[in-house]
Structure 1
C-alpha cells in the first residue's frame, strides 16, 4: 500500500488564471498581499502578464511573466499579479498547509489592519461561487489595491516606513496562529526533510528497506474556478493541505 505522503518537500500546489478585473489604477489583476513564513513561486504556463512586488530590500519591481518564466518571492514581499493577456500560472508554495491556515495578509489600509474583526470581515468570502462570491472577491481586491498604492507611493518617495509598519501589523494579525503553524510545519515540510535524512543514513549503511514502501499517488482538482487572491484557482486536497483556502 502506498503511504499517505505530501508532495515533494511538503510543498503546496495550485493552478491560477489571473483575474481580468480592472482596478481603480487601470491595472487588471489580483489582490496585493504577502506571506509571512512561506516562499512562493509562479511557474508561468500560458499568456502574458507581470508580478509587481514591494520589499524593503528591493523597493518596487515589476517582473514580466510569460511561458517558461519562474518568478519567486520570499516572506515579506508584497506581490500583485498583473494580467496582460490570459495569464496562467502554476503556484508552488513552501510549507504546504501554512497558506491554507492563514499565512497571507492583504495590503488593506492601516485602519482595517489595526482591527482584527474588520480585517476578517474584509478578507472573507461569503460564498464559494456565484455572483456573491465574485462581488466579494472584487471588493477585497479593490481594498487591498488601495492600501498597496499608498505603500508603493511611499517607497517611490524613499520612505519604507509604511511598508515596515504593514509588516508589523501583519505579524500582529497572525501571532495567535503561529503555534498551530509550527505543528503543521513539523508534520509537513520538516517531516519530509527528516525522512530524507533517515533514508540517507540507511543508504550509507547499505539498508534499502525503505524502497519497498515506494509507490504512486495522483490527485485532481477538488473544485474548479475558486476565487483566490490572485485569480480563479484550481483547488486540490492534498496531504497536509486540506483546509479550505481562498488564497493565491
Structure 2
C-alpha cells in the first residue's frame, strides 16, 4: 500500500534512508459505502509475500480475515495494532470514521501486484481478464469518481462471500483453489519483486549485518554518517486504494 514516487528531498540519489526493515507506510481512510452484502468497508484481498500491520488512529471497525484455519473478526479501535501474515485474506469493515496507519513489509511489492483480490473464479483464470477487472482509471490517482473502485470492491466481496461460506461449511477446496489462482496470476512478476526486495528489506538487513561486524571489530564507521531524514507529508493524498483513500509516502528507490 505504500507509494513509489520519488521525493523532492532526501539523502544520496534523492532518497531518504529507508524506514526500519525497509517497510512501507501509508495513511488509510477506509471506504464508507455499502458493499453488496450490506457491510460498509473495503475490498477483501491477500498478499503473496508481505506481512501487513494496522495501527488504528481513529474511528471504529473491524477486520475480517480468512485463512485455512478459519474465519475471524478482529475489532479495530484507536490504539489497537493488528497484523497478519501473507496468505491472510483480509477485509476492512468501517463502523464510522475508521482511519489506520498501515505498515507494509517489503515496501514496493504491494503496489507491484503483491495483492490479489478475491474476485469470482471466472475472473481469476486469465491474467488479462483479472487485470481488466481490477484496473482503475488513472491507476487510482486521487480525485475523480470512485465508482470503479467501488465496483471492483463489490466483485471482490462476491468472491469473498463464496470463500467464507465454503470455509465455514468445512470445505477448504475453494480457498485452496483461490491460493493456486493467485500464485498463477503473480508468477510473471516474481523476478521484479525479487529485485525490489533486494533493494529494500534485504539491503536494510544486510546493512545491519555490516554494522554488527564492524562493532565486533571494535569499529563503528557508520556512526560518523548518522543523519536525520524527514518527509514533511505524504506526496499524494486520497489515492483510490483497495480498502479506502490512501495518503502515500515515497520510501524506496525505483527498480
What is the TM-score with the length of structure 1 in the denominator? 0.94
8 Å Cα contact 2:142/2:237 also seen in 1: no
Aligned ranges 1:90-239 → 2 under 5 Å: 90-127=101-138, 128-132=141-145, 134-219=146-231, 220-239=233-252
Which residue in the other structure is 1:246 paired with?
A: none
> What CA RMSD, in Å, does the superposition of the two structures yield over aligned residues?
1.4
Which residue in the other structure is 2:37 paired with?
A: 25
Figure out how many residues of one structure are paired with residues of the other and give that number. 240
Which residue in the other structure is 1:11 paired with?
A: 23
What is the TM-score with the length of structure 2 in the denominator? 0.91
Shift of 1:157: 0.3
Q: Distance in 1 between matches of 2:143 and 2:104?
A: 27
Structure 2 unaligned residues grouped into runs of 5+: 1-9
SS of the aligned residue for 2:237 comes to strand
- Return structure 1 stretches of 4+ with deviation > 3 angstroms: 1-4, 129-132
Alignment partner of 1:48 out of 52, 55, 60: 60
Structure 1 unaligned residues grouped into runs of 5+: 244-248
Q: Distance in 2 between matches of 1:172 and 1:25?
A: 28
Aligned ranges 1:57-76 → 2 under 5 Å: 57=69, 59-76=70-87
SS of the aligned residue for 2:137 comes to coil
